[in-house]
Structure 1
Amino acid sequence: MSSDSSVLSDHDRLLVHKSAPNGRDHGASINSNGHYNGRDDDYSMSEEDDLPLSQTTRKSGLAGTPPRNLKRKKPVYAESSSDEDTPLASSPAKRTISATVAMPGAAKATTVATSSINGKGRRPQKLEADDDDDRFGPDPPRNSVANGKTGKPPKKKVKEESDGISSDDDKPIAVKKASVARKRKAKIESDVDASSDDDKPIVKKPPPKPKSKSKKVKKEEAASGSDTPKVKKRGAKIKEDNATPIKAKAKKKKEEEEEEEEVFRWWENNANGDGSVKWQTLEHNGVIFPPPYEPLPRQVKMKYNGKEVDLPAAAEEVAGFYAAMLETDHAQDATFNKNFFEDWKTVMIKHPPHDGTRITSFAACDFRPMFEYFEAEKAKKKAMTAQEKKEAKKEKEELEAKYTTCFLDGRKEKVGNFRVEPPGLFRGRGDHPKKGALKFRVTPEDITINIGKDAPVPVPNMPGKWKHVQHDNTVTWLANWTENVNNNHKYVFLAAGSSLKGQSDMMKFEKARELKNHVDRIRQNYNQDLKSKVMADRQRATAMYFIDKLALRAGNEKGEDEADTVGCCSLRCEHVTLESPDSIIFDFLGKDSIRYYNRLQVEAQVFKNIRIFKENKNDDDNLFDRVTTSSLNKHLTSEMKGLTAKVFRTFNASITFQRLLDEENLEGATLQEKLNAYNKANRWVAILCNHQRSAPKTHDQSMEKMRYKLRSFKYERMKLRHALFSIDAKYRKQKKYADDESDIDDDWIVIHEEELKAKEKEKAEKKFVKENEKFEEEGKKSQKDSILEERLAAIDEDFERLAQERGTNRASLKRERPAEKLLETIDKLSDKIKAFKLQIDDRDAGKEVALGTSKINYLDPRITAAWCQTHDVPIEKMFSKTLITKFPWAMEVEKDWKF
């Protein structure tokens, strides 16, 4: 059938379900000193972050087909409205009767015609009219977090996807990037349609001339009067006459050398993406191990039944892991406590308390003394002076310096995650059955090193020998080992901005982009197979339908001791409920044990198929009992070389994102309005891919601070308006200036002015101290305290004046300004208030949506780079510095580029 038939209409609904309270950062651990170390996957060396889910093998059968239970269960749904195998094309999507929030999602994006997505057709029209109060329409609904579970990697080839970039890296940097002038090839006039070039993968295009030049060449060009545009350095001041960067005198020589260092522009050469040899020579220094455990002071001991316990170092270390988390949500979790206590007791069998205490009851344990010690140490660290912190950071950097880089084919490249994760307690995400389990200390005997044949073997920074040293140039990892909790493989890769990782990223997005040329045919084929006489083909087609329309992960087999998480192929009958006449409800634990809940309308044939698949089965039987992930991906490869379920997911995310951005009319929009439009599109994709999170614990507090700041802006505008009235009373009659701020009352003004007064006094005192310190350094006499008293008295006088002005609609300023200047300042402040309101709305709308995962893994970065050029938005507003480093190949794309 035609791809224009869609299963999800504009009115398709998603039911809102919040994720588990422990949210997205459940991978954190506690180090050997009892300190919090952030997420588990901060140290996760596996780039298999988005591997398909594990498939439950509750019933096994021959050839991957579990035996069917012949016990017939009475259906709990009504019959389909039609018994005929009606083609999908003749059965358009029906409007849902659910009361949940509308979400177009993937279905609409994935059913556009090939000509349209290739850029040859008309641009899709905007579906919703702009509203004065809500320019960009309602925000998408919120659902649960992504599903799936990391599986064991292949021996040779390794999938590369997630870079373990922390959430902090996703915060846009505030500094605007200076625009980079680029060489443009002259466009040759031709009768041939040039838009067809959009379909060609970028790796197939002839490489442009290298743009990076040596200092000598640049000087020669300058001398010869070359017209070649110069690349401006970010953050540098530019002279108006010749645009030459002016370096500050205090800038370090090391930073200058780093800026002038020539970058290897691998994307301008033939990318080595054939899946064979990845490098010729590789030399590195291995990994850095965490420091050994330092026992606590003798006076710091946990208590059992009210008595202090003398623990040996090994048992004390594990107890410290828990003590440091005493006031977190994890310490209130029964599963977490149970797993910790079981593992701790196992440790104490080998390392029993010195005083003979037998610890058998978790409830009798008191970790409070250890917790208080850790808190005191954290307070000391926080109280360090700036100089002490700087010295500590420098010492750490010097210690790690040799591990941060390697030599790949003679080039110096940065290593991504060279630190070995310290021991701690596994936190997991969602309702993981192993949370609280003890993560063992990793030693050199656990680690396999991969280096070049002629490279020297690195020496570990702790006693021991490597488990194995190999020389495999068909893989891109430098080291790997297996962690003990989930038996997952951990890898050390090159940094996100390295040539190998960049090539992998670009090929991944090019493969997804290539799917545009095949997607109509693939959809037509699986729509036909929805009515196939062969049950295995019908099941496979139905699974493809869900993977395409809902961007579900495929799912993999897994052991019974692993978390009960599922993907599309491993769905069980209990996970899918039929609701007459044409709706299906999905309810299962997805990746990281986070609940996935979704209700949607489907075509009549899909509804009928699910009904057939569930017949004569128990709730714990597999829904697709004749489909496996391997068989599904094998079929997809026959449809298009290299196609997997994951490619569909990347394609749907990027094509949806491109469509949503194109639908927004941003002509005349402010910068903040553009940012909100971009983030809204990003939220839609995050919901499509089920990248949800729990609202941060500090969200309400953060929002309250922002609202207070907004009121502060309004207070400033109010005082300026009142000052304007004092100069010229005619402005009182103008509505633009006459109305007072609705959310500012007298009580709030009193509180706000008191806070302003306290801040002004604190500022004056700090300035006074700083001036005296400077005078002492210069050998001058310090200022008398009377000078500070005069300054504080002046502040009191100013705020007494403000108190007298309350309720009078009049104000006086410290420095007199004409009415024209006041009008200009008021207008600027009004624009600032409008932009800040949009920022508040955007922050609140994204509190339960994780935007970073889709940005890193599923959205082609060239979409963002081209959009920023088209709408004159600094790329730093969209991408963090880490992402800009990760995607250098995407930063120079043409402004009219489309996915």
Structure 2
Amino acid sequence: MSGALKATAARPNGKNGAKGKSVAVYSSDDDDVPVVKKKRVSNGKGKPSKKRVKKEENDDDDFGLESEGDKPIAAKKSKPQVKRKAKQESDEDDKPTQKPTAKRAPAKKVKKEEEASGSETPQSKKRGAKAKKEEGDEETKKGRKKKKEEEQEEVFRWWEQQAADGDTSEKWQTLEHNGVYFPPPYEPLPSSVKMKYNGKPVDLPLASEEVAGFYAALIESDHAKDETFNTNFFEDFVAILKKNPPRDGTKITKFELCDFRPMFEHFEAQKAQKKAMSAAEKKEAKAAKDALESPYTHCTLDGRKEKVGNFRVEPPGLFRGRGDHPKKGRLKLRVHPEDITINIGEGIPIPKPNMRGNWKSVVHDKTVTWLANWVENVNGNYKYVFLAAGSSLKGQSDMQKFEKARDLKKHVNRVRAAYNDNLKSKEMKARQMATAMYFIDVLALRAGNEKGDDEADTVGCCSLRYEHITLEPPNFLVFDFLGKDSIRYYNRVQVDEKVFKNIKLFKDQTSEGDPLFDRVDTTDLNKHLSGFMKGLTAKVFRTYNASYTFQQQLDQGTPDKGTVQEKLNAYNHANRMVAILCNHQRAAPKTHEQSMQKMKEKLRGFKYERMKLRHALFAIDSKFKKKKLYVEDESDLDEDAIADHEDQWKAREIEKAEKKFQKDNEKLAEQDEKPQPESALKDKIKDIEAEFKRLKKERGTSKAELKREKPTEKIEEAIAKLDEKIKTFKLQMEDREAGKEVALGTSKINYLDPRITAAWCKKHDVPIEKIFSKTLLQKFPWALEVDSDWKF
């Protein structure tokens, strides 16, 4: 925390430091660690397959729906610099080159001659079919490449046009879309699957059965262990039962007598069936789903095709909330067309809903960017459908947000001087305002709004109460409260003496449950700030301090001559400093220990491979045993570790052989060809077992035999590469461990100017794909064109 605070620049008339650690109560599984590029998998349409990702919308937008997009793409596995240079010299396209062997060249020639002569021999037919397939594959690749290039060319470069047009109140001139996609209707359970009450099956009508199913699906989760969740669910369930009572007359009055397990087991069986589907079946199911949703994925904005972000209406279910939300477990009702207002261009045909009903209303408001909205029933909040993160409208909004934060640099010293002077003002309101501004600036607290009785007890700066701050003389404050999304904010921090005296004064005048800043609210605060700079709010300060801290941390911590992984670790450290400053904390993912164990096993595999290469050198020439580079054994690799590694490796190889055997037979069956006999698999397994028997004999001998003979120079080169790989992998493990309780994604998406990352990557030769996911690259195209010397 102290590093992050120090980087936010010196404060006039005050010494600031910070200690302590924020503790999270909200769990997230998104590690957001740098990734490596994987081979793109085709979905049969010439595009990479898509996966779900978490919401990447504005962190402070309480009303946005979750959107779906692509998971982070991985970057290509980095190769040694020398090889890359050689490839570039040999091939302009930087593609791997392979010299055709003497045997292969004539074969190709014969193949062409046979095709030309029209020979009807079976062999020539086979070769001809293969050639046609290769030709077809080549055409497909070219088609995909062309389509990709066309898609890139079609990107609307709004950031270039914006400089000429300027900002206007109207966001668009023409807007055409197909409305929103409603989830399919409820499918009743088989007659044999029923919930039980007091040990007896209950015959529920569809409306009640659906609600029971919502809870049944969660009975093995932590939600079902939560008393508030269970109480709220049962209250709503009983209300539904009154309107739709059981057909057999059963009276359901006690939650403890309800047994939802038969429904749960049915759902689990359905999951298992889906998981067991073949690749072709999964592909077919996805194609059918995509065909239903395709009319809603894009809209036409000012004549341009733009992607819609969250076009799906949320299905009914149970509200889960975040943290200790008082309404968790409440029933989220099904949304109908009569609940939804759509925004569309005037004179455009009104789209028809994909379910029975008519829209609540249709508006033609050019000053807003939403396509549809409705009010959800649990919290009474508006839900909006916006364009996707990579759209021109969202991009313009993001750019304006970061430009405003960057513009604050010109005014920040005046703001700080003003609030420092007012810390000792005789007017209580001015003194409270100054103290609140100090917290917002130095600690990056959110401004905060008043909450109702039916909302989670989350607070921000202006809504802090007596019990949220503890005094520790001479000048330490201990903050402990629930912030946004019910994430605990705990921080012990040293503050300016005047701030300490003010908080003591405010506490002396109040008692537990009373607000500390009783004369200031967010409206007053933002009105006061707008006097220093047009559009300045407390939220702008948070964005400014996050981006400023990030820029300072990168400038101070990035090694000029480090490896790519060392630079990535410096980047993630800077990101962590911002996440700590902004309290973007989380509980360590449940899978963290398992993930770290897998990484340890992978590291052991690298060390094992290095040991075998060393022992191969010793077998060739014993003089290598005296070389300093090879004299010491690999750490953490004793005889038990070697035996364990070989056993696990052997099991994986056998499993791989079995899967390949099964897959090959499935392909042969599709082609109406005879499958391989079981003996082929047994022979393969026998070969694997023989190989591992040989490896077992080599244990403790300090000698090893490689599968393919290599000259000593090649073996030494391979060991050097492994040394580099081990070093890089250890850095990745350290980075993963350091970030287990910090959510890096929130600040990267919402608070860090993406131009800082783009410029840093260019300056330090780090591929931006190692930091930005595919979704973020699409979200911030305007940021990628900055020069390497650009600064926030």
TM-score between the two structures when normalised by the length of structure 1:
0.76
1:251 partnered with 2:152? no
Distance 1:725 1:24 in 2: 45
Change (3 A) 1:6 1:303: farther
Change (3 A) 1:414 1:780: closer
Change (3 A) 1:791 1:177: closer
Q: Residue 751 of structure 1: CA displacement? A: 2.4
Change (3 A) 1:423 1:773: closer
State the Cα deviation string for residues 392-451 of structure 1 (Å, max 9, x = none): 111111111111111111111111110000001111111111111111100011100001
Which residue of 713, 725, 731 corresponds with 1:820? 713
State the Cα deviation string for residues 369-393 of structure 1 (Å, max 9, x = none): 1100000000101111111111111
Letter in 2 for 1:291: P
Paired residues of 2:340 and 2:372 also in contact (CA < 8 A): yes
State the Cα deviation string for residues 786-817 of structure 1 (Å, max 9, x = none): 55544433322221111111111111111111
Distance 1:387 1:647 in 2: 50
Change (3 A) 1:646 1:811: same
* Structure 2 partner of 1:750: 643
* Structure 2 partner of 1:627: 520
Distance 1:653 1:645 in 2: 13
* Structure 1 partner of 2:21: 15
Q: Residue 772 of structure 1: CA displacement? A: 6.1
Q: Structure 2: where are the runs of 5+ without partners?
A: 1-8, 32-50, 80-86, 97-136
* Structure 2 partner of 1:174: 75
Letter in 2 for 1:267: W
* Structure 1 partner of 2:374: 481
Helix, strand or coil at the partner of 1:495: coil
1:657 partnered with 2:550? yes
Instruction: Map 1:419-568 to 2 at 5 A.
Output: 419-568=312-461
1:835 partnered with 2:728? yes
Q: Residue 601 of structure 1: CA displacement? A: 0.7
Change (3 A) 1:641 1:825: same
Change (3 A) 1:792 1:574: closer
1:265 partnered with 2:166? no
Which residue of 397, 408, 417 corresponds with 2:310? 417
Change (3 A) 1:767 1:538: closer
Letter in 1 for 2:139: K
Helix, strand or coil at the partner of 1:718: helix
Letter in 1 for 2:601: Y
Letter in 2 for 1:569: C
Distance 1:40 1:712 in 2: 31
Change (3 A) 1:576 1:787: closer
Q: Residue 334 of structure 1: CA displacement? A: 0.6
Change (3 A) 1:273 1:577: farther
* Structure 2 partner of 1:330: 223
State the Cα deviation string for residues 247-271 of structure 1 (Å, max 9, x = none): 9433384673343132111111125
Paired residues of 1:565 and 1:589 also in contact (CA < 8 A): yes
Distance 2:334 2:673 in 1: 57
Helix, strand or coil at the partner of 1:577: strand
Instruction: Map 1:300-339 to 2 at 5 A.
Output: 300-339=193-232
Helix, strand or coil at the partner of 1:639: coil
Which residue of 374, 382, 385 corresponds with 2:278? 385
Change (3 A) 1:569 1:312: same
Helix, strand or coil at the partner of 1:496: coil
Structure with the larger helix share: 2
Instruction: Map 1:223-302 to 2 at 5 A.
Output: 243=93, 248-251=138-141, 253=143, 256-261=146-151, 262-270=154-162, 274=167, 276-302=169-195
Letter in 1 for 2:767: P
Change (3 A) 1:383 1:790: closer
1:862 partnered with 2:752? no
Distance 1:647 1:521 in 2: 15
Q: Structure 1: where are the runs of 5+ without partners?
A: 26-37, 52-149, 152-161, 179-236
Aligned residue-pair number: 715
Paired residues of 2:24 and 2:487 also in contact (CA < 8 A): no
Helix, strand or coil at the partner of 1:545: helix
Helix, strand or coil at the partner of 2:384: strand
Helix, strand or coil at the partner of 1:264: coil
Which residue of 485, 505, 525 corresponds with 1:592? 485
Instruction: Map 1:127-166 to 2 at 5 A.
Output: 150=62, 164=66
Q: Residue 177 of structure 1: CA displacement? A: 11
Paired residues of 1:450 and 1:469 also in contact (CA < 8 A): yes
Which residue of 225, 228, 233 corresponds with 1:340? 233
State the Cα deviation string for residues 495-520 of structure 1 (Å, max 9, x = none): 11111111000000000000001101
1:636 partnered with 2:526? no
Paired residues of 1:583 and 1:601 also in contact (CA < 8 A): yes
1:805 partnered with 2:698? yes
Helix, strand or coil at the partner of 1:356: coil
Distance 2:456 2:22 in 1: 24
Name the structure, 1 or 2, with higher relative contact order (CA <8 Å, separation 6+).
Answer: 1
Paired residues of 2:446 and 2:460 also in contact (CA < 8 A): yes
Paired residues of 2:325 and 2:456 also in contact (CA < 8 A): yes
Change (3 A) 1:644 1:771: closer
Q: Residue 781 of structure 1: CA displacement? A: 6.8
* Structure 2 partner of 1:669: 562
Change (3 A) 1:523 1:706: same
Q: Residue 782 of structure 1: CA displacement? A: 6.2
1:50 partnered with 2:77? no
Paired residues of 1:322 and 1:425 also in contact (CA < 8 A): yes
Distance 2:207 2:555 in 1: 59
Letter in 1 for 2:485: D
Letter in 2 for 1:510: E
Paired residues of 1:293 and 1:317 also in contact (CA < 8 A): yes
Letter in 2 for 1:575: H
Moved more, 801-810 or 16-25: 16-25
* Structure 2 partner of 1:615: 508
State the Cα deviation string for residues 174-209 of structure 1 (Å, max 9, x = none): 34799xxxxxxxxxxxxxxxxxxxxxxxxxxxxxxx
Moved more, 728-737 or 299-308: 728-737
Change (3 A) 1:329 1:6: farther
State percent identity of aligned pairs.
Answer: 66
Distance 1:39 1:781 in 2: 39
Distance 2:500 2:701 in 1: 69
* Structure 1 partner of 2:3: none
1:690 partnered with 2:700? no
Paired residues of 1:172 and 1:878 also in contact (CA < 8 A): no
Distance 1:610 1:434 in 2: 33
* Structure 1 partner of 2:288: 395
Instruction: Map 1:648-797 to 2 at 5 A.
Output: 648-768=541-661, 787-797=680-690
Instruction: Map 1:18-167 to 2 at 5 A.
Output: 18-20=24-26, 49-50=59-60, 150=62, 164=66
RMSD: 2.7
Paired residues of 1:24 and 1:429 also in contact (CA < 8 A): no
Change (3 A) 1:624 1:39: farther
Letter in 1 for 2:546: A
Paired residues of 2:451 and 2:458 also in contact (CA < 8 A): no
Distance 2:707 2:91 in 1: 38
